[in-house]
A = this chain, B = another copy of it.
Amino acid sequence: MPRVRITRRLHFCAAHRLAREDWSEEENRRVFGDCANPNWHGHNYDLEVTVAGPVDPETGYVMDLGALKALVNRLVVDELDHSNLNLDVPWLDGIIPSTENLAVAIWERIVGHIPGPAALDKVVLWETPRQWAEYRGE
């Protein structure tokens, strides 16, 4: 049976800032630049979730993309959309919401919910159309 990767793209809008509470504003500004603005800034995030697995010969599906969309909406997008990533999301508590950390946290949030034999392959999070992070669970 051929092994195929399928991807669903979703999006959400959120505010965040990059800063450590144990650092001074000057230290945060020096390391994180404008991203440390204490009054926050925000992004339109694009999120790509890729699942890999054998193609079911009965349906032609690796996994129902509608079910994948519903799963990621419920676990991730509904919780992050129109939120403040530093303040509003329990499962991001204590994490600096860099694109890297967010991609890893989203992977951890989804990975146990993909029905086998398919498995989560990759999470890509776009902070802007010009920069993004990719995590493969490695």
Chain A residues in the interface with B (C-beta under 8 A): 2-11, 13-16, 18, 20, 31-35, 37, 39-44, 50, 55, 58-62, 65-66, 81-84, 87-88, 95-101, 103-104, 128-138
Contact residue among B11, B84, B132 (Cβ-Cβ distance under 8 Å from A6): B132
Query: How many copies of the polypeptide does the oligomer hold?
Result: 6
Q: What's the minimum C-beta distance from A76 to chain B, rounded to whole angstroms?
A: 15
Given contact pairs A55-B101, A61-B98, enumerate 12 new A-B contacts (beta carbons under 8 Å): A3-B136, A4-B100, A6-B99, A13-B41, A39-B84, A41-B83, A42-B43, A44-B128, A50-B134, A60-B96, A60-B97, A61-B100
Instruction: Give the secondary structure class of A's interface.
Output: mixed
**Among the listed B41, B84, B95, which residue makes an inter-chain contact with A82, where contact means beta carbons less than 8 Å apart?**
B41
Tell me, in angstroms, the Cα distance from A88 to B37 when the chains sit together: 10
A65 to chain B, nearest CB (A): 5
CB pair A62–B13 under 8 Å, yes or no, is: no
Quick one: closest B residue to A33, CB to CB? B66
* A40 / chain B contacts, CB cutoff of 8 Å: 15, 40, 42, 84
